[in-house]
A and B are shown apart, each in its own frame.
Chain A
Amino acid sequence: MSQSTLTDLASQIAAGDIHIVDLTHTLDPDFPVIILPPEFGQCARFRMEEISAYDHRGPAWKWHNITLSEHTGTHFDAPSHWISGRDVPNNSVDEIAPEMFVGPVCVIDCSVDAAKDDDFELTPEVIQDWETKHGKIPKGAWVLMRTDWSKKSGAAYLNMREDGPHSPGPTPDGIRFLIDKREIRGFGTETIGTDAGQGSHYTPPYPAHYFLHGAGKYGLQCLANLDQLPPTGAILMAAPLKIRNGTGSPLRVLAMVSGENA
C-alpha cells in the first residue's frame, strides 16, 4: 500500500496534479535580518565570496564560500534556540527525528487584517474563527500565519521605527492555544521572526519563541508564497541542515499541494 501511494505520488507530481510550492526567499546579501540592540551579538547577514570563476584561481570551475547565521533568510528554529527549550530532549537540528520535517500544514489567512494593521495579533479567537470555517487544527500539524508580509521588501519588511519593528504575530494566548489545545508541530510566519515585531513587550517577551521551544515545538520564519497554499490539506517539507548542536538553519521550505487546491 505504501509503495503504491509513493508511486501515485510520484506520478501525480510528474503529471502536475500535485504542485510543489516553494515557500523560500532567495538568500540575498540585502535581505533583512533581525536587529537587536547593538551591544548584543548580531545575526550575520548572508555573504558570498568567489573562490574561483573559471580563472587563474581555478581554471575550470566556479564556486563560492558563503557565510551566514543559523537564523539568516528563510530559516528553521529548533527548541535549543530559546532559553525555555535549552533542556528539551533532542532540541537541536541534528537531533530532531527526520519524520518531523514532513507533515500536514494549516494556513491561517490574516492577510486582510495585516494589511490594515501592522501590529495585527493572532489571538485564540482568530484561530477558533478559522476553525469554524476549515475544521479543527489536527494534532501534529504545522500552523502558518499568512499575512502577505513576504510581498513587502526593504525597509517596509523590517518596518523599523523609533520604538522597534512593527509586524504581525501571535499573542501569548494565541500561541499557547496552538501548543496546549491543538498540540501543533510548529508555527511559521512570513515575517522576520515567529513573534510580532513588538513581541518584546508581551509577557513573557517573545511568547512564540518562549512557548514553542519550551514545548519542544519548531519555528519557521521569513516564509514566502503562503498565498499559494490552501487552508488545509497541503504537506510541508522543511528539513534544516544537519548542524551539530545547531539552534536553527536556513533551509528550502517546500509544500505539496493537490491540484484541486491550486
Chain B
Amino acid sequence: MSTALTPPPRKNPQKRTVSPTRPPETRSRAAMGLSAAAAEGRFALQCCSECDRVQYPPRDACCNCLSTELPWKNISPNGTILAETTVQTSTKLYFRERAPWRTGSVKLDAGPTLICHLHGDCERNGRVKMINRLDRSGQGVLLAMPQERSPNMEDDPQLRAMTSDPKHRRVLITDARNPNSPTLAKAIVEAGASMVFIGEGESWRPYPEQKELAAIDKVEILPLDVTDTLSVQRLAGEIGGKTDILINNARFVRPGGVLARGDTGFARDEMEVNYLGLMRLAQAFGPGMCSRTSDGVNSAVAWVNILSVHALSNAPDYGCFSASNAAARSLSQSMRAEFRSSGLRVMNVYCGPTDDDWHQPLPPPKVLLSALARSVVQGLKDGLEETYCGDVAKDLYERFRQNPNVLEREMTMGGDGA
C-alpha cells in the first residue's frame, strides 16, 4: 500500500520556492499520438490497418509489414511485469529531484512489450493495468498500476506527479453565481481539497446559491468579477500565491444566433465573460501559478475551463454563445502552450446543454450539475487536458473527430426545409 499523503506543513517563509523542472519533452511526430491519447486519458497504441499488429514504441511504419497505415486505437491495458528497477539518480534534473523512481518493462496481453513507470504498489512480476498519462512536460507516458485498488494508491508519488489531484490543494472557483458552484465546491471538498475559494461578483445583488455556498465547510467567498480587470488583479494579489487549482466556471449565456436580436449586446457580454474573462484570469493568476508548480504537496497543478462542447461546432440556437466558447477554446490552447514550460496543466471540460434556466426550453438529456462536478474531479485525478461530460458532448466530439464538415451540416441543417 502507498503511504498516505499528509497535509503539508505551513510554508517556511525563509525558504526559496523550488523552481519547476521538467522530464524530457522531445518526441517523434509518431509518438505524439501517445500524448494526444493521454490528454484524454486513453490507453491507445498504434495498430496496423494491414496486419493488425499492435506496436510499441510508436514508429512511422509497421514493424511487421512496413505499412504506414497506423491508426491509434484503444487497446486492452492488461499485462504482466517482466523486469523492474528503481532509479536512484539520474542525469535528468527532474528525476534526480524525485529519486527513487521505479521503472520497468511490461508484456501486454495485446502483444508488445512496453518500457514504463511502475506504481509503488505493483508486485514483482505481477499482473498490471496500464494507464497513459501526461507527465509535467505534457507528453504521454505509460504507468503500470496494480489491477486491484490498493489503499491510498492515488498518493503514490510517481502517480501524483502526473495527475492534478485536488487532495490537500487549494482551489479557486471563479463564479459563485453560476448554479453549478455549490455542487462543484462540495465535490472538490470531498476530493480532499484543503480550501475552496469562491469568487463572487456584484455582491450588491442577491443570488440563490449564496446560502448553500456559505454553509460548506472549507469554502471562503471572496469578491471577484471576471469582467473587471481590477477585481481580478486584486484577488490574484490576495490569493494568487496559494491558488493550486483554478476552476473557471464563469459563464454568460443567452440563446440566439446572429440575427436573433440585431445587436451585439449579449454577444459582447458573452465575450467579456467567456473569452476576455478567461484572459484576465490567466494574466492575473497564470504567472504566479506557473512559478509554483514544484512547491511541494500543495504545488500549483491545474487550470480548468468549463466550456460548451459547441466550442467545437456551432449550435445556431445558441450561436453567439457557441462562438464565444470557440474563442475561449482557442485561447486555452495558447494558455496551454504558454504554461507548458512550467508544467501547469490546462484542462478543458466540455459539456452539452446544462440543466439550468438558460437551457430550460431544450429537451433532455442535459448535463446535471452533479455530472459536471464528477467530470471535473475525475479529470483532475486523471490529469487530463480534455474531457467530455455527458452523452451529448461525447457524441458530438466523436462526430467532430470523424468529420467536422459533416457535423457542421448536421448541427445547422436540422429542419425539413418546409
Contacts and interface: CB of A to CB of B under 8 A. Distances in A.
Given A41-B263, A41-B265, A158 B205 contact: yes
A39 B229 CA distance: 26
Interface residues of B, number: 17
A57 B204 CA distance: 34
A157 B204 contact: yes
Contact of B205 (A29, A35, A48, A153): A35
Nearest to A161: B206
Given A41-B263, A41-B265, A32 B230 contact: no
Nearest to B280: A49
A153 B203 CA distance: 10
B227 A47 contact: yes
Contacts of B206: 155, 160-161
The 7 closest A-B pairs by CB, nearest first: A32-B204, A154-B204, A29-B228, A155-B204, A41-B265, A158-B204, A160-B206
Contacts of B228: 29-30, 45, 47
A158 B265 CA distance: 23
A161 B231 CA distance: 26
Nearest to B268: A44
A47 B273 CA distance: 13
B202 interface: yes
Give the interface size bracket for A toward B. Answer: 10 to 19
Contacts of A35: 205
Contacts of A157: 204
Contacts of B231: 29-30
B225 interface: yes
Nearest to B261: A41
A41 B202 CA distance: 18
B227 A155 contact: no
Contacts of B202: 30, 32, 45
Interface in B212-235: 223, 225, 227-231
Contact of B225 (A29, A154, A160): A29
A161 B208 CA distance: 11
Contacts of B265: 41-42
A154 B227 CA distance: 18
B70 to A, nearest CB: 48
A32 B205 contact: yes
Contacts of A161: 206
Residue with the highest number of chain B CB atoms closer than 10 Å, among A29, A32, A48, A50: A29
Interface string B260-288: 00010110010000000000000000000
Contacts of A41: 263, 265-266
B204 A48 contact: no
A154 B203 contact: yes
Interface string B225-248: 101111100000000000000000
Interface in A149-173: 153-155, 157-158, 160-161
Interface string B180-213: 0000000000000000000000111110000000
A43 to B, nearest CB: 11
